Amino acid sequence: MDLSAVLICVAFVAFNSWSLWCGKKSRDKFYADDIQRLTRYIEACQWVASMRVSPVDIDCYSLFRMSESMRRWADETGKNPLEISSFRDYCNWLITPVKPENS
């Protein structure tokens, strides 16, 4: 994993740990234990980095948007984004191009 991927993962883990902790009271069904949560994010980051996702356009605002979309996705699908298989589904959903409605 190169340095830029590590920095992105650290920022992602830090931001989401803070935002999930703040919303923990309403989301206990999704988020169990803090250590387990961090471990899963790190594993997920390693998986995303292994896909060689380009870090060029990722910034704090993008991470915030990703966090918000992850919450919506979790609410809509009922899946736990902290389970690695679900996180992969979420990542694939994010990178799948949206088809025009008229096609």
Residue ranges per domain, the chain?
3-95
| Secondary structure in 3-state letters for 31-63 | CCCHHHHHHHHHHHHHHHHHCCCCCCCCCHHHH
* Distance between CA atoms of residues 49 and 72, nearest Å: 23
Mean pLDDT to the nearest integer, 72-78: 78
* Distance between CA atoms of residues 79 and 103, nearest Å: 29
Q: Which token pair is 27?
A: 């989301």
73 close to 24: Cβ distance less than 8 angstroms: no
Q: Which token pair is 62?
A: 């993008």
pLDDT digits over 15-61, tens only? 565 555 555 444 444 444 555 565 666 666 666 666 555 544 445 55
